[in-house]
Each structure stands twice: as C-alpha cells, then as structure tokens.
C-alpha cells in the first residue's frame, strides 16, 4: 500500500557500507522502520541521507506492506525547514537527548495523531526560541500525558511525590517517594506552558535533580526504558 504522510525522524542507524535503517513516527501509520538502500553513497538520488537527521520534519511517500518488516520509502522531502535546531550547539545537543528519549519511549506502531502534533509543535517552538534552559524538563513532563503516566495532581498541595504510583501524598510509603525542594520545583512545571516554564529559575543542581527524578519516573512506568547516553552532556550544557 502506498501512503503519503508527514513524518518525524526518531532515529537512524547505519547498516552495512551504504544503507540506513531509519525509524520514523508517521502521522497516519504510527512508528515505522525503513530500509534506505545505497543512500549513504548516492549523491543524485531522490532520497538523501541528510534528510534523516534526528527530529527532522518530513513529508514521505512510502510502500507499507504491514508485515512487521522494514518498509521502503519512495520519496522524501523536508516538510518544514528548521532554522537553528541542527546548527545551534545547545539545541543540537538537546536534539540528540530528545531523540534518545523518543527512541526509548515510542515503541508501538499504533497511530497517535495527538502525540505527533505535540512533537511537531514543540520542535518548531524549540527551533524558534532562545530561552530554552528548561525545555527538556518541560518536554518530558508534557510527554507523560501522551504516554499515559502523567501525575495525578488532585492532591498537589501535599508534600511527597510518590513516583511509583504517580501521585502526591502526606508521607513516604516506599523507596520511590520524593520530597523537599526538588518536588516543589517539579510542581511549578505542572500545568504550565513552554513559555511559562522557561521563566522558572533553577540552579544547575536543581535542574539536574529534577531531570534525574523524571528519568527514574520514566524507568518505573516504561518497560525497557534506559537513561540517555547524552544525559551527561546535557547536564553540562545547562549548568
């Protein structure tokens, strides 16, 4: 079946000397993996390897056999060109971090247009703004809504955050309960827009502690989730 759809590049992997295997989140067919034969050596083909940088927004025409095997892309072009996402050092470091996060969290082929719209909108927002020091924290918190484990905020006034159950409570009940200033900062992000969250003042230590807590929370609620290898670089950049 031939499909034409917007798509977001999640991950790409070199295969052999000249091929790429790319993972794309498509708007109409969910997460799909494609084999791009000879793309690393071809200079005049319709499909260029440069199109498949992480988080690139594409329009693709592809053959989907829907047999659980690698699909084939017939044509691909940039849907919306980024101005700074792949050229600004700080943003490009964020791109690799977010790409690793999405590789570990989006694993089903089910169509999720709301998630696609969220990612498309936020990447364009990141591309257009300069005040982005809290972007990765806000991104992860909002992503939870689409993954099904956004915290229950009905008792947000309580002081302890139970990461295992995803709720706020009075007292610690297991080893995954957090309290103190980290939880207070975490609460500030809940329910805010990206613009508002960028104005939350955090020290390097506070930002790293919130991020560390969020990654543990992801590990608790997503089977097989692994902390991104780019985490240490990100912590240094936003210090």
Tell me, yes or no, whether 95 and 16 share the same domain.
no
Does the residue 140 lie in any domain? yes
Tell me, yes or no, whether 140 and 110 share the same domain.
yes
Does the residue 191 lie in any domain? yes
CA distance 180 to 160: 8
Residue ending a domain, choose from 78, 102, 130: 78
Q: Contact at 8 Å (CB) between 160 and 154?
A: no
Tell me, yes or no, whether 68 and 109 share the same domain.
no
Tell me, yes or no, whether 52 and 163 share the same domain.
no
Q: Determine the Cα angle at 216 with ends 210 and 217, to 5°.
A: 85
Tell me, yes or no, whether 50 and 139 share the same domain.
no
- pTM for the whole thing? 0.93
Question: 98-111, pLDDT tens digit by residue?
Answer: 999 999 999 877 89
Residue ending a domain, choose from 50, 78, 106: 78
SS3 229: coil
Does the residue 83 lie in any domain? no
pLDDT of residue 239: 61
Does the residue 84 lie in any domain? no
Does residue 196 surpass a pLDDT of 80? Answer: yes
Tell me, yes or no, whether 149 and 94 share the same domain.
yes
pLDDT of residue 188: 96
Tell me, yes or no, whether 183 and 70 share the same domain.
no
Domain count, the chain: 2
Residue 44 pLDDT level (bands cut at 50, 70, 90): low
Tell me, yes or no, whether 71 and 114 share the same domain.
no
In the predicted model, what is the mean pLDDT of the chain?
Answer: 93
> What CATH number is associated with residue 20?
2.40.50.140
As a whole number of Å, the CA-based R_g of the chain is 19
CA distance 53 to 143: 21
Does the residue 27 lie in any domain? yes
- What is the percent of the chain where pLDDT is above 70? 98
pLDDT of residue 1: 86
Torsion of CA 167, 171, 178, 161, to 10 degrees: 20
Tell me, yes or no, whether 33 and 103 share the same domain.
no
Q: Contact at 8 Å (CB) between 122 and 89?
A: no
Tell me, yes or no, whether 98 and 65 share the same domain.
no
Question: 105-156, pLDDT tens digit by residue?
Answer: 998 778 999 999 999 999 999 999 999 999 999 999 999 999 999 999 999 9
- What is the percent of the chain where pLDDT is above 90? 80
Range of the domain at 16: 2-78
Tell me, yes or no, whether 99 and 64 share the same domain.
no
pLDDT of residue 227: 87
Tell me, yes or no, whether 38 and 152 share the same domain.
no
Residue ending a domain, choose from 28, 46, 78: 78
Does the residue 123 lie in any domain? yes
> What CATH number is associated with residue 169?
1.20.1440.120
């Amino acid at each position: 079946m031939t499909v034409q759809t917007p798509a977001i590049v999640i991950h790409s992997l070199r295969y052999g000397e000249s091929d790429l295997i790319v993972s794309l989140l498509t708007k109409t067919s969910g997460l799909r993996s494609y084999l791009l034969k000879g793309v690393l050596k071809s200079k005049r083909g319709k499909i260029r390897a440069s199109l498949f940088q992480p988080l690139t927004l594409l329009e693709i025409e592809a053959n989907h056999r829907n047999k659980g095997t690698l699909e084939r892309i017939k044509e691909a072009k940039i849907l919306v060109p980024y101005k700074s996402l792949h050229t600004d050092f700080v943003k490009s470091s964020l791109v690799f971090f977010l790409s690793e996060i999405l590789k570990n969290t989006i694993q089903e082929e089910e169509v999720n247009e709301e998630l696609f719209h969220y990612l498309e909108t936020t990447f364009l927002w990141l591309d257009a703004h300069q005040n982005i020091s809290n972007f990765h924290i806000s991104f992860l918190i909002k992503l939870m809504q689409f993954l099904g484990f956004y915290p229950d905020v009905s008792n947000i006034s309580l002081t302890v955050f139970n990461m295992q159950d995803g709720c706020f409570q009075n007292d610690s009940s297991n080893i995954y309960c957090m309290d103190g200033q980290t939880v207070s900062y975490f609460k500030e992000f809940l329910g805010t827009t990206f613009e508002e969250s960028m104005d939350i003042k955090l020290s390097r230590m506070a930002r790293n502690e919130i991020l560390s807590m969020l990654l543990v929370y992801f590990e608790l609620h997503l089977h097989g989730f692994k902390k991104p290898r780019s985490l240490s670089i990100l912590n240094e950049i936003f210090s």
